[in-house]
Chain A
Amino acid sequence: MSRPIVRRRVTSGLLYVGMAATTVFFLFPLLWVLSMSLKSPAELFQSPPALLPQAWAWDNYTTVLQQSPIIRNTLNSLVITAGTMVLSVALATVSAYVVSRMDFKGSKVYERAILACQMISPVILVVALYPVLVKLSLLNSYASLILVYVAVTVPFLIWFMRGFMETIPRELDEAAMLDGCSRFGLFVRIIVPAARSAIVSAAVLTAVMSWSQFVIPFIMLDNSDLFPISLGVLNLQSTGGATTLQYVAAGSVISIVPVVVIFIVFQRWILGALTDGAVKG
């Protein structure tokens, strides 16, 4: 065998080793939690720990589903996520279109403000809003919660959608205008269909961001009936004693499944969204 071929094989071998190590590093914590969620309390404290449960205790899941409000939390998260997704994507599409196609004095200021918004921690926003929300009795309200979710997701989406709008040829706009199309007609009939792949990406990203959101509901909700999944699982951890670790693990798995499924199904769009944005900067 010639030397280049040997070197090629050695490099491929090293790449396989590297990929295997990376996969284990990132998947092992998740698999371990999955394993813990199927163990009996005795097994959780057995030393040394066994990789797999002896008898798979699926009833840990039944217990969590029946005795904790996790189903309710999941439904709550779905409602909040869906509301945020619709409003945020609609708002971002319109705003990105305006910024990319209309010439107006304030457009630079608007764009800079959008970038600056992304540097502000949600903790600061909700801390400052809290006294006002108390005064207006807007705590424990999905309407105000969703509006805050929309506000914190929309700057990134506008930035991302704007990048995509630039790739839609302006000739399309001009042809439509020549045909006497109004701005609104142009937006609905030309821009939205042309941007549909970006809209899907934006929707998936918003869903992932809203599902993960924690500090906003943590401060804006104190009625536990309204808690989304992130607060629900945290409650499971803080209310249970040491003997309920298997339930905490099961709750974590339940909360991860939807987002991981969405993520794997839509991976192409997410990767596309983030990569387009990054390369264009």
Chain B
Amino acid sequence: MTLTAKTVPRTRAARANARRPRPRRDHPYLWLAPSIVLLVAVFAYPIVEIVRLSFTGANLVGANGDYTLHSWQALGAQGLGSILGITVFFVGLSIVFQMLLGFFIALMLVEAEKRRLVGSVVTRTAVMTAWAIPGVIIGIIWRLLYQESDSGILNYLSSLVGGSSNIPFLSDPHVALVSVTIANIWRGTALTMILCYAGLKTVPNDIVEAAHMDGAAPFSVLRNIILPTVRPVLVVNLIIVTVETLNTFDMIEALTAGGPGTSTQVLALSVYNLVFGQQRLGVGAAFGVVLMLVNVVVVVAYLVIINRGERTRA
């Protein structure tokens, strides 16, 4: 339906019709061919290949290897249980804290902007900078912060508030996992902040004002007006943060490389370590398939829960 055709007077309309090209034949696949070829080569092929490799005894040195279920049977012996536990801890805490921190920082910034307080741009830039820095460099920076002696800055700050000045941030297995998670929260909060900031800008200000006038408590405004408006943004955000965190490799590789021992070895790292550390392509591929499945299952689970929630609300 064209607006132009409607508004053009009859006589000229006839002429326009004559000039109108015959319904053109589009060739969408011709236009999309480059991206399709690239995505087949770099996504479709590797996905099929990683599944195939997981059913072989392949290693990096000798090529193919025969088909076998050995890699799948070896998952348990290769520590799948503890790797999943580490991954769940790392991803779970990262999601919870990134979303909470990111949401409240965004809320604070939007409120500060409404009041035209100076400094909100500085705060926003500071948070976003953390997100722009390469993950490897973030790992290196936090390694420097976690320096394990009383000349390390975090150890020093801990001693100032009455804590130990010798926290084994990276050398104790349990502490190291917490350290890695904190560094990741520092890194990832910005993304949630940016998305929530955008969502919060769409909350209609007059409704919020009216609620305040009617004496609604701030918490009830947050719950009944703000949260429902930004809900779709929070959902997109939850999915993006989950997938990003599940697939984190660079920051941990630089910070601990999975150590000490295997105490910070999340799924993505285990794939790399098995393939390139131990040359065991088949087993590494099986872990890769597990990583893909975890991503898919979690995202599908979110979507199912959200759809169900929508239906009961409707």
Contacts and interface: CB of A to CB of B under 8 A. Distances in A.
A281 B232 CA distance: 7
Given A94-B31, A123-B272, A22 B123 contact: yes
A212 B130 CA distance: 12
A5 B39 CA distance: 59
A249 B134 contact: no
Interface stretch (A54-62, A64-72, A124-132, A192-200): A124-132
Contacts of B129: 26-27, 30, 260, 263-264
Interface string A109-131: 01001100111111111111111
Interface string A217-238: 0110000000001110110010
A128 B288 contact: yes
Given A26-B127, A26-B130, A219 B276 contact: yes
B11 interface: no
Contacts of B39: 113-114, 117, 151, 154-155
B38 A154 contact: yes
Interface residues of B, number: 102
B253 A32 contact: no
Contact of B141 (A30, A126, A150, A211): A30
Contact of A233 (B136, B235, B295): B136
A230 B141 contact: no
A22 B127 contact: yes
Given A98-B31, A131-B281, A147-B38, A19 B117 contact: yes
Given A19-B117, A91-B35, A120-B43, A237 B150 contact: no
Interface in A50-105: 91-92, 94-95, 97-98, 102-104
Given A32-B144, A102-B26, A123-B288, A215 B108 contact: no
Nearest to A104: B28
Contact of A29 (B142, B201, B254, B275): B142
A202 B123 CA distance: 24
Contacts of B159: 48
Contacts of A137: none
Contacts of B220: none
Contacts of B2: 171, 174, 178
Nearest to B196: A278
A241 interface: no
B144 A154 contact: no
Interface string B116-132: 01011011011111101
Contacts of A230: 134, 136-137, 250
Contacts of A110: 32, 36
Nearest to B108: A18
B123 A23 contact: yes
A44 interface: yes
A189 interface: no
A159 B145 CA distance: 37
A278 B271 CA distance: 31
Interface in B199-220: 199, 201-202
Interface stretch (B47-55, B69-77, B171-179): B47-55
Given A104-B26, A151-B43, A281-B233, A274 B198 contact: yes
Given A19-B123, A237-B140, A263 B132 contact: yes
Contacts of B46: 120, 124-129
> Which residue of B34, B43, B197, B272 has the most chain A CB atoms within 10 A of its CB atom?
B43
B199 A278 contact: yes
Interface of A: 11-12, 15-16, 18-20, 22-23, 25-27, 29-30, 32-33, 36, 44-49, 91-92, 94-95, 97-98, 102-104, 106-107, 110, 113-114, 117-132, 147-148, 150-152, 154-155, 158, 171, 174-175, 177-178, 180, 183, 208, 211-215, 218-219, 229-231, 233-234, 237, 245, 248-249, 252, 255-256, 259-260, 262-264, 267, 270-271, 274-276, 278-279, 281
3 interchain residue pairs of minimum CB distance: A275-B198, A128-B46, A151-B42
Interface of B: 2-4, 16, 19-21, 24, 26, 28-29, 31-32, 34-36, 38-39, 41-43, 45-47, 49-50, 53, 58, 60, 63, 105, 108-109, 111-112, 115, 117, 119-120, 122-123, 125-130, 132-137, 140-145, 147, 149-153, 156, 159, 186, 190, 194-195, 197-199, 201-202, 232-233, 235-237, 243, 246-247, 249-250, 253-254, 268, 271-272, 275-276, 281, 284-285, 288, 291-292, 295-296, 299
Given A30-B129, A44-B151, A129-B45, 8 more contacts: A33-B144, A47-B151, A95-B31, A118-B243, A121-B291, A124-B271, A212-B134, A281-B236
